[in-house]
Amino acid sequence: MSQHDHSKFSRRQVVGGLMGSMAVTGMAMASSASAAESGSATSDGAPPLTGKNPLGAFPKPPFERQPQDPPGLASKMVPRPDHGEESYRGSGRLTGRKALITGGDSGIGRAVAIAYAREGADVAINYLPEEESDAKEVIALIKAAGRKAVAIPGDITDEAFCQKLVNDAATQLGGLDILVNNAGRQQYVESITDLTTESFDKTFKTNVYAMFWITKAAMAHLQPGAAIVNTSSVQAGKPSAILLDYAQTKAAIIAFTKGLAKQVAEKGIRVNAVAPGPYWTPLQSSGGQPMEKVMKFGEEAPFGRPGQPVEIAPLYVTLASAESSFTSGQVWCSDGGTGTF
């Protein structure tokens, strides 16, 4: 149609056409809304426009008293944390990738391992020997997703083991292109005068030194397109009085993430961090919080509950996926609406 032909349309015709289009759109939106309310598909077969209500999606406190010796087991928690065992559905976002996850037996690490496997990645998990029963469940879930599963128990506060961990993971997986530094130690102490050098040192060895040792060893295996995701915490920006050493380590993780991201950018490697708020994991019930706080854990969050590990795993998937190729040196927070970062 020529420019002259376009001019033949009157203002009335144009307005009439727009009104007709808006009417059709409005009918479609009404149909979608109606379908969402009824829980049925829309007329064109699309799923209803519904979302999970975060207020009542998962258990709220009060919780029962449930002390454990550290490091704690997910299998002994009440209610048992949801890591996505039944609910997480992958879409091939990490197909062919090879990931190493520390602390992969329970909590956030377990949820990430499940998500990565269902997104198509082969996964190696590290954990302490005392956590073997939880780890076996994760290994079975990875295999059930049709992916290769590698279990490497050991203490990451030992530098030699950290080097072996990375090399064994890369050898058994046939490479390494995703590293998740997730394992952590958290033990509350009411006063600095009661915080021993031994405990302070162990927290830093677990949360900071191990991340450094493991990442350093991984650099020999990571190629352009690889991703590192570190687990920080809202404690880095809003430290609790009773978590003096833990909060310091989580702030150090953010600095490490931002600095390393700049250093390895020229290698085509991305480095990011996730900062969880109150999440329902064995870290809390095995000395991470006083039992009185565990029983009310998460009630101060705007959603009135702690997060479940399955709710944060998608952030780790996104940060590891090629779709986030321009994202590095960032800290993504999930804290139930508090807005710490």
| CATH entry 3.30.70.60 includes domain 74-334 | no
Structural domain spans, the chain = 3-38, 74-334
Amino acid sitting at position 212: F
Phi-psi region of 173 (alpha: psi -120 to 50; beta: other; left: phi over 0): alpha
Q: Facing residues of 331 across strands? A: 273
The reported pTM is 0.85
pLDDT at 16 over 50: no
User: Catalytic annotation on 246?
Assistant: yes
pLDDT for 174-202, tens place per residue? Answer: 999 999 999 999 999 999 999 999 999 99
Beta bridge partners of 271: 228
Which pair of structure tokens corresponds to residue 105?
Answer: 């037996």
Q: What is the distance between the terminal CA atoms of the chain, rounded to a whole angstrom?
A: 54
Residue 50, pLDDT score: 58
pLDDT of residue 24: 37
Which CA distances in Å does 122 have to 66, 104, 146, 223, 278?
34, 13, 9, 16, 29
What confidence score (pLDDT) does residue 5 get? Answer: 41
Q: Where are the alpha helices (DSSP H) in 265-340?
A: 282-283, 291-295, 313-320
> pLDDT tens for residues 42-96?
344 445 545 789 999 999 999 999 999 999 999 999 999 999 999 999 999 999 9
**Of these residues, 116, 188, 246, 279, which one is catalytic?**
246
Residues in the chain: 341
Q: DSSP letter at 9?
A: S
pLDDT value, residue 51: 78
Report the alpha-carbon distance of residue 174 to residue 324 in Å, rounded.
24
339 and 93 in contact (C-beta within 8 Å)? no
Q: What is the mean pLDDT of residues 270-274?
A: 98
CA–CA separation, 300 and 238 (whole Å):
14
Higher pLDDT among residues 248 and 18, named by residue: 248
